[in-house]
Structure 1
Amino acid sequence: MHKISKATRDRWPAVKWMALLIASPSFACAAEHLPWSGCYVGVQAAAVRSQSDDWTPQSSGGAYTGQTLGGHAARGGAGGLQAGCNAQVGERFVVGVQADHLRVNAAGQHDSARETGVAYHSNVRALTSITGRAGYLMQPDLLGYAKAGVVIEHGHQWATTTQLGTAYTASGARAGWTVGLGAEALLARHWSGFLEVNFHRWGTRSIAVAPQVAGLPPAMIRITQSGTAVRAGLNYRF
């Protein structure tokens, strides 16, 4: 290790105190006993389920306005990146914040509960979340944690008929809240792995769907959305 000369330490008191701190046993002990403090980046894979319930027309004058036409789940896989920072508090507690983004390939559909020859479809293209978490060290290298924050779903909805094909479409982003539970283990000096389950809620909202066939009027439909994501990944800690 490079040594700081005595002349430099005497000339610059701050350098002297820094050298003494780094060389002290307490500094090494802190680094050894607070291994969860610091920032990280990583990759993850996930199994995603997005539930769309109570597809209900809102346009005035429609045959089934205000009546639910059913619902379905969009299921699929995802992969993405995450980055965050942790602070270890004492020997047992860890708090932190994380941002992540998943590219998703999940799709689903259902036949209308009231209309003949009509089906409703959705897919999920991406999930972005910002969460805080708090955890407890069950062992020095094993963290159990809970998390909560904001989640944004990027998706697409559309309606088809046997006669017209794709009749209406809509797409966009929707913000909601998320909570989750997980566990993370230190695998090596700079590496950790995690497994967690997240629960998402976007509530109920009305969506403007654009007609895709000449002669069809603009329409509104109300959908209630929720979802889950089971995630596993690796973090590089620095």
Structure 2
Amino acid sequence: MKLALLCSVAFLAAASPVLAADIVEPVAAMPFSWTGFYGGVQAGGGWNDSRWSGATFDSFNTNGSGGIFGGQIGYNYQINQFVIGIEGDLAGSTVKGDGQCSTALGTTCETKQDYLGSVRGRLGYAIDRILIYGDAGVAFTKYKIAEVDGFHQSFGGGSRVGWTAGLGAEYALTDHWTAGVEWNYYDFGTKSGESDTIPGFFVDNRNTENVVVGKINYKF
């Protein structure tokens, strides 16, 4: 009886460090997954380069800037550390630029943007809660192209379709909330518009834009 008791005590003494280590060792945290649907808001600024050209006047630019405010929805799918996804966004715009119309003294021409949207594919690399990505896709906007001082006239602005590409970085603040910053370049090509007051007078207008926004998303 005494021998059995002594053996039990010796076994418990030998095993106690192992048991204690198992108890106090923390459980390894699961890595963050970017897979899932998300939606959120964005705010930032845009810088537009609007180049006017035509057969009857010297070319000129109306470079402008303004605010970009809107939202986005999307879906990510993570494979190991790579993340593929798709995102759509739509934002109101106050981007506007004006300047002297060619060499016509006393005149002002203006390019004004009403909204900006896109549908983009995304490819990124995740380091746990940090995501760095590139994107590219189709872009949509609406411009007003007009002479606003001097001889007032518009030149058939309207909706435009182009392409966009950019880079971004995002950080997961919690398991559901993420925040990031994104830059995109937009190219809407050249569109020819006829004056609404002078039949046969056309203006070619080429628009490109750089946009930087901050984003906050909720991951479902």
Superposition misfits of 4+ residues, deviation over 6 angstroms: none
Q: How does 1:29-178 map to 2 (within 5 A)?
A: 32-33=30-31, 35-53=33-51, 55-58=52-55, 64=56, 67-90=57-80, 92-137=81-126, 139-162=127-150, 164=151, 166-178=152-164
The match for 2:166 is 180
TM alignment of 1:170-209, pairs within 5 A: 170-209=156-195
Cα displacement (A) at 1:50: 1.5
The one-character-per-residue Cα deviations of 1:11-37 (angstroms, maximum 9, x if unpaired) are xxxxxxxxxxxxxxxxxx9xx446100
Residue of structure 2 equivalent to 1:217:
199
Query: C-alpha distance in 1, partners of 2:63/2:199?
Result: 27
Q: Residue 218 of structure 1: CA displacement? A: 4.9
What is the alpha-carbon distance in structure 2 between the residues aligned to residue 108 and residue 94 of structure 1? 38
Alpha-carbon RMSD across the aligned residues, in angstroms, is 1.9
Deviations 1:133-192 (A, max 9, x none): 00011x200010000001111121111343x4x233533110111000010100011100
- Whether 1:228 and 2:205 are equivalent positions in the alignment is no
Q: Indicate if the aligned counterparts of 2:32 and 2:175 stay in contact, CA closer than 8 A.
A: no
Q: Give the secondary structure class of the aligned counterpart of 1:170.
A: coil
**Letter of the aligned partner of 2:46 in structure 1?**
V
Could you state the TM-score of these two structures normalised by the residue count of structure 1? Answer: 0.76
Measured against aligned partners, the alpha-carbon deviations of 1:50-79 in whole angstroms (never above 9, x if no partner) come to: 1101x1235xxxxx2xx4330121210021
CA-CA distance at 1:200 after TM superposition: 0.7
Structure 1 Cα separation of the partners of residues 84 and 124 of structure 2: 6
Q: What percent of counterpart residues are identical?
A: 29
Unaligned runs of 5+ in 1: 1-28, 59-63
Q: Which amino acid aligns with 1:187?
A: L
The answer on whether the counterparts of 1:202 and 1:224 sit within 8 Å (CA) in structure 2 is yes
Q: What is the aligned residue count?
A: 193
Task: Give me the whole-angstrom Cα distance separating, in 2, the residues matched to 1:235 and 1:203.
Answer: 31
Instruction: Work out the CA distance in 1 between the residues paired with 2:135 and 2:89.
Output: 13
Once the two structures are superposed, what CA deviation does each residue of 1:82-103 show, in whole Å capped at 9, x if it has no partner?
000000011x110000000000
- For 1:38, the aligned partner's letter is G
Gaps of 5+ in 2: 1-27
* Residue identity in the other structure for 1:96: G
CA contact (8 A) 1:44 1:234 kept: yes
Work out whether residues 34 and 88 of structure 1, in 8 Å CA contact, stay in contact via their aligned partners in 2. Answer: no
> Which one-letter code corresponds to 1:198 in the other structure?
N
With normalisation by structure 2, the TM-score equals 0.82
Larger-gyration structure (1/2): 2
**SS of equivalent residue, structure 1 residue 210:** coil
